[in-house]
Amino acid sequence: MELMICSAARWLEDGAMVVVGTGAPCAAAMLAQKTTAPNLTLLFEAGGVGPLLPRMPISVGDSRTFYRGLMATSMADIMETCQRGMVDYTFLGGAQIDQFGNLNSTQIGSDYQHPKVRLPGSGGANDLGSLCWRILVLTPHDRRRFVERCDFVTTPGYLTGPGARESAGLPPGTGPYKVITDLAVLGFDDATKRMQVESLHPGITLSKVRERTGFELLVREPLESTPAPEPATLEILRNEVDPLRYIIGRG
């Protein structure tokens, strides 16, 4: 979990705007803000804009998401800001993700009226995934999540491939960017929009990543190794971002 959070924080550049939820995405944004991106602007779905988080919030409406913020506004204003093309990144997740970065947080099973499992649904995920410039996904890596075809597309990635997102009326240039798992960092091939392995975490082999993926992965050359977190970065993560071990665990 620490490696995933540190890896995600590296993709958030100084001066960017990012919509985050609670959990690991919030930890990654907080870590970036306290290290390499002090001017990173965090937005929360419930209306907090630009807070300097003192501690890990437990929900998107936690009072800490407004602490020393730029604005205390509403969900409507957050979504409007995304619609206007002003938000660089959003963190999303789901029970399933396919090779084009489509996400499912609605159901397991193809029958909508009688699914095997009913999941929480979209919330703001579809809006954020449709309107923010780049989607970042933090997720464990296993075959149940990385599937050939999502049982339900809650949040559009590149849909069926090149041009499909734009044909559906979504803003050109938006879409999935990085998928950060406990095994690797994955991106998307520019030509095919298919998911590709870009770096392997220390001690992880490409065969293990493929073994835990339910579709054929592309591999970017040269395949890199994910940098291990610096001790100073881990110190900040453990003692300033998540001292109570809500996210990184108590072990």
Give residue for tokens 């990144």.
89
- Predicted pLDDT of residue 29: 96
Assigned token pair, 63: 């009072």
Could you give the C-alpha distances from 51 to 33, 39, 212, in angstroms and in order? Answer: 10, 11, 38
Identified catalytic residue from 2, 13, 45, 80: 45
- Predicted pLDDT of residue 55: 85
Closest listed residue to residue 93, CA positions, set 4, 225, 220, 204: 4
- Cα(228)–Cα(121) distance, rounded to whole angstroms? 34
- Cα(169)–Cα(145) distance, rounded to whole angstroms? 27
Structural contact between residues 24 and 5, judged by C-beta atoms closer than 8 angstroms: yes
Q: Residues 37-55: what's their mean pLDDT? A: 94
CA angle 202, 203, 206 (to 5 degrees): 95
- Predicted pLDDT of residue 250: 60
Go through the chain and tell me how many residues it has: 251
By three-state DSSP, how is residue 31 classified? helix
Could you tell me how many helices (H) and strands (E) the chain has, helices first?
Answer: 7, 14
Q: How does pLDDT run across 79-116, given as a tens digit for each residue?
A: 999 999 999 999 999 999 999 999 999 999 999 999 99
**Does the annotation count 235 as an active-site position?**
no
Give the rounded percent of residues in the chain with a pLDDT score beyond 90.
Answer: 94
- Cα(187)–Cα(29) distance, rounded to whole angstroms? 19
Q: How does pLDDT run across 241-250, given as a tens digit for each residue?
A: 999 999 998 6
Q: What are the residues whose beta carbons fall under 8 Å from the beta carbon of 35, sequence distance 6 or more?
A: 9, 233, 236
Global pTM value: 0.95
Give all domains of the chain, ordered by start, each with its CATH number.
2-241 (3.40.1080.10)
**Does the pLDDT at position 251 exceed 60?**
no
Q: How does pLDDT run across 127-150, given as a tens digit for each residue?
A: 999 999 999 999 999 999 999 999
Question: What is the residue-averaged pLDDT of the chain?
Answer: 96
**Does the pLDDT at position 23 exceed 70?**
yes
